[in-house]
Structure 1
């Protein structure tokens, strides 16, 4: 099952208008992604960490998210410094580590973690339904919003069907191995999961039509800007101006 470990707190970050959080995540992520200065990337990482810290995230869930991102970055550390042309600084057998390669992978590390922390702080602190209402309020296409929401729900349906079939296999004494019977059984398991999920999705669609679904979900959450939303918007704008002002500043190499 998909959990929402960051959306269950009651902090001022969670009370921010979801439309503001979506816009903040979008614009700052784009700016973080295109910066090519390590100092600005470090500032972005610090700002994202401070914002996330204000939401008081559960440490175990946060470390799991960061581990997934940095596991990929670890492969970059093992390859980019040795295959980027530049000034050699160390030699490990036939491989030569360059300063330009280290600078590049360090910049990627800072930006990737900054964007990850920002998305967790702004988007991860919202439930899926609240995110859908925010996207709908921002005038995104209804089909895109509903596709996102139904995909999120369908993942739960797939997980539920998969667990049901696995339980049925265990009750029948199935033991997985490296033989043709296991491969055939797992193939049947995947096929049954998809067909049962499709059948349940059709029943859900029919139930929605019987309840008068017209292609649009009514919004039960009233989205309204408050005083702390304006204050957060001003601080975000000032941070954007700071990043843009020092974009090509010679004091920030």
Structure 2
């Protein structure tokens, strides 16, 4: 299998990225949901047949165990599928990539000093070097995370962060986003950092057409760094399709945005 053979028009995730992350990580919210159902279940059991209360609670506990095991098996299969794909394409895998944090001195990567970078894959695709993996950090009091895709760029870009609304809880650079009115996108996109005219220039009709083919993802860029921000727990097919579309997005960036990035970089050097 090659990246070019990936089928487009992939379905979007059913759960919001922050909820999916917490479910897969087995965070406290899973047990809160379990108790929220177990307590009424026990009350109903007491009202109907007290002898069955223990069986009701045990059955619900087994549902929790089965759900957790199913998630772990699914995660393991996704990880193995990606490893097989990466080896087939000649890409390199590593367990962590803490050295990558120095590449991204901008939100959301520089907010939590205790953030971790794991499951890193590096390689080349369509002539660009890339680094992809999982970014774990603390957002408020919650431990959340997302997948990242850092693509090589040869010219600087202006500071910008554009995300679909669903990804904002896990990776937003600010709390006051500006909605972007763009037809054809698979989700509502918002501007969290940078200028609206730059975002609108990047999300022109051809770019929107490419983004519409895959589950929604966003990006942060600044200088010679362009990082796609993606929901975690994607299968290999979705990851390859989004890699292709992220490359398309870079290839389609208008010249005016590149010139704005060069001007921004020049101003940074002078200041």
TM-score range normalised by the length of the shorter chain: under 0.3
| Larger-Rg structure | 1
- Under a length normalisation based on structure 2, what TM-score does the superposition of the two structures give? 0.25
* Structure with greater strand percent: 2
- Under a length normalisation based on structure 1, what TM-score does the superposition of the two structures give? 0.27
Answer 1 or 2: higher relative contact order, Cα 8 Å, separation at least 6. 1
